[in-house]
Amino acid sequence: MTTPASGASLAPPRHSPDLAAHHGPASLGAGLGEAWLASSYSPHRWREECGVVGLWAPGVGEKLADLCYLGLFALQHRGQESAGIAVTNGLHIDSVKGMGLLTEAFREGRPTLDGQAAIGHVRYSTHGGSLNCNIQPIFAYSPGGFVGLAHNGNLTNAEEVKAAMLAEGCLFQTKTDSEVILNQMARANREDAEEAIADTLRRMTGSYSLAILLPDRLIGARDPRGYRPLCLGRLQGGGWIIASESCALDAVKAELVRDVEPGEMVTIDRGGLRSRIFQKADKLTSCVFEYIYFARPDSILDGLSVWQSRFEMGRQLAMEFRGREADIVIPVPDTGITAALGFSQQSGLPYLEGLIKNRYVGRSFIMPKQISRETTVEMKLNPVRSNLDGRRVVLIDDSIVRGTTSARIVSLVRRAGAREVHMCISSPPITQSCLYGIDTSIRKELIASNMSVEEIGRTLGVDSLLYLSQEGLLRSVGDPGNKRNCLECFS
């Protein structure tokens, strides 16, 4: 079940992977290598936003995999395409991976090794990424032992680094940029594993939060600009956990200690926890989209409540909505709910449920194909006619990317009898593609990059359309001077 990445001296894994139909070619000539590289890192193929968990808990035995499962379950919103867990006792690895939700990926059981450390990963794919070989965690075997990796983020220099490694004869088993990190770690000419990892990360640019599994330790690392979140917690009865969001710590009854700092690497072993800064950046640029959409509202990221941030986005929207009239405020569930509550409090308009969500349908934003997104909207939402009929409605949503989903939602509300529909978005217009791991589509598909706000409003069929200003967004996340947030997708 483990997947060794090539480019290092391999030792036999405990389980042998079945990758014949999925991984890259066994030997690459220059032309074939370039073609495969292009197919893997085409600018029209968007990288994944994922969730990672790592646990160091030598005393819990076979329950370690269950704790990892619970942590991943809390992060299921970050990835619904595939999942994997790997457990080690220092000598062997037991890894189980599969496609689908956690309940599908682990239908035949979870790792049963009596281990001391584990890492886990949930992933959502982008265009062309739904392959078994891309399921994480992934592994390499080097003279120093195995290295396992779970990665959230996107490397912006992956093409360059991978091309150089291919030219040296390095082989790749997957089409993910995560394997570039793994192979570089395995190939690093360093006796000390932590120095090898630090050297590797200093070569990488872009976004990453990592859970790294070694025979005798667990390592967590976050990119120097802090694009992707990562937090550290203490397990009851001893032991540690690292995770993409604090809600994963709550799931295993762990205490949130702090966030892993940008450019920090934390190492946990039998000697306890130690920390080092492997690289500093001149500016922090955490992804503000985590607060707008991606993170769970009960999470705390970099010391800031996601729920409180979204509530404040709604309040700021209401302030910017002044001068217009309406009867009720309704959210697009789920990520519009908290902002709608804030809008209602600030404006004094009643908050009502106008759309009911079918809880058994996934998040349309992370469906890999447009036809899936459009079909899912009809399956996922149904209007409450008694709350909408004859009323002037403020419809709150977190963002508009392509516009197709929003247009269908507006149509649902109109057909339920709404007299007017005023759409308010708790983020600025998305005009640029994201390089750092959020699937915001290629630029030509972004409706705000091709139309004015008035044109978008006419396309969606609303009476008015209001986006939250960048200033209002920054005030909502407590950063009015923009000292720590990335806004590149808005500008």
Residues annotated catalytic, as ranges: 50
363 shares a domain with 280: no
**pLDDT single digits (tens) 384-432:** 999 999 999 999 999 998 898 899 999 999 999 999 999 999 999 999 8
pLDDT at 120 over 70: yes
Q: Is 429 left (phi over 0), alpha (psi -120 to 50) or beta?
A: beta
| 0.75 exceeded by pTM | yes
Rounded Cα distance, 430 and 476, in Å: 18
**pLDDT single digits (tens) 158-194:** 889 888 888 888 888 888 889 999 888 877 767 788 9
pLDDT at 344 over 80: yes
Contacts of 324 (CB under 8 A, 6+ apart): 422, 464
Q: How does DSSP classify residue 26?
A: S
Output helix, strand, coil percentages for the chain, rounded to the nearest 5: 30, 25, 45
122 shares a domain with 38: yes
Rounded Cα distance, 400 and 446, in Å: 8
**Domain with 394 in it:** 309-490
Out of 159-173, 200-214, 229-243, 320-334, least confident range: 159-173
77 shares a domain with 155: yes
Out of 72-81, 175-184, 303-312, 462-471, least confident range: 175-184
Check which CATH number belongs to the domain holding 404 and give it. Answer: 3.40.50.2020
364 shares a domain with 272: no
Instruction: Determine the pLDDT at residue 362.
Output: 54
Out of 242-251, 293-302, 364-373, least confident range: 364-373
Instruction: Determine the pLDDT at residue 184.
Output: 87
Percent of the chain with pLDDT strictly greater than 70: 84
322 shares a domain with 252: no
* Band (16; pLDDT cuts 50, 70, 90): very low
pLDDT at 474 over 60: yes
* Band (6; pLDDT cuts 50, 70, 90): very low
Instruction: Determine the pLDDT at residue 171.
Output: 83
317 shares a domain with 274: no
Domain count within the chain: 2
Give me 316's structure tokens.
């700021």
What is the pLDDT averaged over residues 436-446? 68
Q: Amino acid identity, residue 254? A: A
Instruction: Determine the pLDDT at residue 356.
Output: 95
